């Protein structure tokens, strides 16, 4: 039996309606609140028994339109600046539909989709000044990309055969990153079996950049104590404040001790596409560079990238050696099985989807210069918001605006300092609950910060004006109550 439509024309009609509706929905995104909680009646309808029997596509689509579509995260909205969430594009959404319809398997193989993935990787390498022969692979996102980079680092620099013998065969491994590094790194240490103790969390300076001298001292002390340092992780854009570590100094430090230099550039690496590329100067000299396209590349979830300078090092991490390659995955001289596992040998995934299509179509349709201009606009908007905050008597900037993130709080004179944290948290919740805007939160030196991270190609200057007005208005209202 086939699961294909019994009536293709009916499916065609529903499909056309879907495309039509979704384009209108995207076109009118600004008219809706940034975010609304899923109402109880929709939640109740979404709690169903296993659908043993099917229903017409039109009916299923109607349920989607009624109970799913109206309650998104909100990150496609022009006033969403929470965490580090990308906005997506219309072209990216359409590309996802085409990719799903083609449904290719991207372990490798002789097929157009593999050529497209190699093509976009070549473009991506060039855009961050990586060598032409560097290795790369598209992954689910920044976390996966960082783990792939660290895994390659460990194989390359641990000084024993960790793939064959595991961690017990060598001295305790250690790696170095600033205390501002994103939480993926603790997760990676746990998942990779080294434990969190392997991570040497290095202090930062007033600009939230790693203290390079402290890092050097810690490496030397660890070597003296019998540990085996293997990698330094630099940040090109920290998640809290957008700080960029001194990447040139970290490269030199890594070279002094023969360590792998990995960079987490989840969003910041994309500054290289803009006129502000000097912000991330030095990232092109990393041994591995991880970044997302679903954040500042504005492409739909999920797509991240890991680039590895030495192509042999990435292969040496995953490619099964000799006879270890299972017979069912071996490449042939001809037929479809040429390069059967071209991509699968470069990362953890075997079955892989056609992520590359949305990247290829987005880059071709928008043009990379235009995407770079959107990135530059976000940087300009952050600077402008920082200036507005500093100029406002009732607002206080809590960290330097290094890139596209602004951390601030409502702090008019006359309010007790110990009430400011709870007040600002209440302001943030009100902003979100009233559907005005969605910044998120962080804590800097024990101060609760309203954190605005701009990876949004739909935001305009007046959106930030509206945010400032709302914070001040809600702040005054809550402080009076
Ligand atoms: C978002 C982010 C990550 C994690 O990336 P995901 O795509 O969410 O897995 C890592 N580092 C930084 C700096 C980030 O902003």
Domain 104-353 in CATH 3.30.70.2200? The answer is: no
**The predicted structure's pLDDT at residue 322:** 58
State the angle between helix axes of 355-366 and 368-391 in degrees (0 to 180), rounded to the nearest 10: 80
Ligand 1 centroid–CA 83 distance in Å is 9
Atom of ligand 1 nearest to the CA of 237: 13
In 337-396, where does DSSP find H-type helix? Answer: 355-366, 368-391
Which residue's alpha carbon is at the smallest distance from atom 8 of ligand 1?
142
Residue 207 phi, psi (nearest 5): -95, 15
Say if CB 318 and CB 83 are below 8 A apart. Answer: no
For residue 163, give the 3-state DSSP assignment: helix
Nearest CA to ligand 1 atom 3: 142
The residue whose CA has the least distance to atom 14 of ligand 1 is 266
pLDDT of 340:
92
What pLDDT digit, counting tens, does each position of 35-79 carry? Answer: 999 999 999 999 999 999 999 999 999 999 999 999 999 999 999
Shortest-distance Cα residue to atom 13 of ligand 1: 239
Q: Which atom of ligand 1 is nearest to the CA of 294?
A: 7
Residues lining ligand 1, CB < 6 A? 84, 141-143, 182, 184, 237, 239, 264, 266-267, 292, 304
Contacts of 198 (CB under 8 A, 6+ apart): 172, 173, 174, 175, 189
Domain ranges of the chain: 104-353, 368-480
Q: Whose CA is nearest to atom 2 of ligand 1?
A: 266
Whole-angstrom Cα Rg for the chain:
24
| Domain topology for 368-480 | 3.90.1150
How far does residue 290's CA lie from ligand 1's centre (Å)? 9
User: Could you tell me the two tokens for 232?
Assistant: 């330094």
Per DSSP, what are the bridge partners of residue 289? 263, 307
Q: How far is CA 420 from CA 29, 429, 450, 451, 474, in A?
A: 33, 14, 11, 15, 13
**What's the 3-state SS for the chain?**
CCCCCCCHHHHHHHHHHHHHHHHHHHHCHHHCCCCCCCCHHHHHHCCCCCCCCCCCHHHHHHHHHHHCCCCCCCCCCCCEECCCCCCCCHHHHHHHHHHHHHCCCCCCCCCHHHHHHHHHHHHHHHHCCCCCCCEEEEECCHHHHHHHHHHHHHHHHCCCCHHHHCHHHCCCEEEEEECCCCCHHHHHHHHCCCCHHHEEEECECCCCCECHHHHHHHHHHHHHCCCEEEEEEEEECCCCCCCECCHHHHHHHHHHCCCEEEEECCCHHHHHHCCCHHHHCCHHHCCEEEEECCCCCCCCCCCEEEEECCHHHHHHHHCCCHHHCCHHHCCCCCCCCCCCCCCHHHCCCCCCCCHHHHHHHHHHHHCHHHHHHHHHHHHHHHHHHHHHHHHCCCEEECCCCCCCEEEEEECCCCCCHHHHHHHHHHHHHHHHHCCCCEEEEEEECCEEEEEEECCCCCCCHHHHHHHHHHHHHHHHHHHHC
What pTM was computed for the model?
0.97
In the reported structure, the alpha carbon of residue 477 is separated from the centroid of ligand 1 by a whole-number distance in angstroms of: 35
pLDDT given for residue 326 in this prediction? 87
Residues of the chain predicted below pLDDT 50: none
Locate the ligand 1 atom nearest the alpha carbon of residue 264 and give its number: 11
Strand 288-292 vs strand 304-308: parallel, antiparallel, or unpaired? antiparallel
Of 264, 290, 455, which is best to mutate to test ligand 1, by the most ligand atoms within 8 angstroms of its C-beta?
264
208 C-alpha vs ligand 1 centroid, how far in Å?
A: 17
Phi-psi region of 339 (alpha: psi -120 to 50; beta: other; left: phi over 0): left
Q: How far is CA 122 from the centre of its chain?
A: 20
479 alpha carbon to ligand 1 midpoint, in Å?
A: 35
């Amino acid at each position: 039996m086939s699961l294909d439509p019994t009536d293709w024309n009916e499916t065609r009609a529903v499909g056309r309606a879907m495309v039509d509706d979704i384009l209108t929905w995207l076109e009118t995104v600004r008219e809706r609140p940034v975010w609304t909680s899923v109402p109880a009646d929709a939640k109740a309808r979404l709690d169903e028994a296993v659908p043993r029997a099917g229903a017409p596509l039109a009916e299923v689509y109607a349920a989607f339109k009624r109970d799913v579509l109206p309650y998104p995260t909100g990150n496609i909205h022009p006033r969403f600046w929470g965490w580090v969430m990308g906005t997506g594009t219309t072209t990216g959404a359409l590309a996802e539909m085409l990719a799903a319809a083609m449904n290719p398997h991207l372990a490798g193989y002789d097929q157009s989709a593999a050529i497209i993935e190699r093509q976009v990787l070549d473009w991506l390498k060039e855009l961050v000044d990586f060598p032409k022969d560097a290795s790369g692979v598209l992954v689910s996102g920044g976390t996966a990309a960082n783990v792939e980079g660290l895994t390659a680092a460990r194989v390359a620099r641990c000084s024993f055969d960790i793939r064959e013998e595991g961690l017990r065969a060598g001295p305790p491994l250690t790696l170095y990153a600033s205390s501002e590094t994103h939480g993926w790194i603790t997760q990676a240490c746990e998942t990779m079996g080294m434990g969190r103790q392997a991570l040497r969390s290095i202090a930062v300076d007033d600009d939230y950049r790693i203290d390079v001298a402290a890092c050097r001292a810690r490496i030397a002390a660890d070597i003296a104590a019998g540990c085996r340092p293997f990698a330094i992780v630099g940040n090109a854009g920290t998640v809290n404040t957008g700080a960029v570590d001194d990447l040139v100094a970290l490269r030199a430090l890594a070279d002094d001790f023969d360590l792998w230099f990995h960079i987490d550039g989840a969003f910041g690496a994309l500054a290289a596409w803009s006129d502000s590329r000097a912000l991330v100067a030095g990232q092109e000299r990393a041994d591995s560079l991880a970044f997302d396209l679903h954040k500042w590349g504005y492409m739909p979830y999920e797509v991240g990238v890991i680039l590895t300078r030495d192509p042999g090092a990435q292969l040496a991490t995953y490619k099964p050696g000799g006879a270890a390659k299972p017979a069912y995955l071996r490449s042939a001289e001809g037929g479809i099985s040429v390069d059967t596992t071209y991509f699968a040998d470069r990362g953890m995934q075997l079955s892989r989807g056609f992520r590359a299509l949305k990247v290829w179509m987005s880059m071709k349709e928008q043009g990379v210069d235009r995407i770079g201009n959107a990135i530059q606009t976000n940087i300009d908007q952050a600077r402008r918001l920082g200036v507005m905050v500093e100029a406002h008597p009732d607002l206080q900037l809590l960290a330097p605006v290094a890139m596209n993130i602004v951390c601030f709080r409502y702090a008019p004179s006359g309010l007790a300092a110990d009430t400011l944290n709870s007040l600002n948290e209440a302001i943030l919740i009100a902003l979100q609950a009233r559907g005005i805007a969605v910044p998120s939160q962080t804590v800097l030196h024990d101060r609760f910060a309203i954190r605005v991270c701009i990876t949004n190609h739909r935001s305009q200057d007046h959106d930030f004006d509206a945010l400032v007005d709302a914070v001040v208005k809600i702040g005054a209202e809550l402080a009076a109550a």
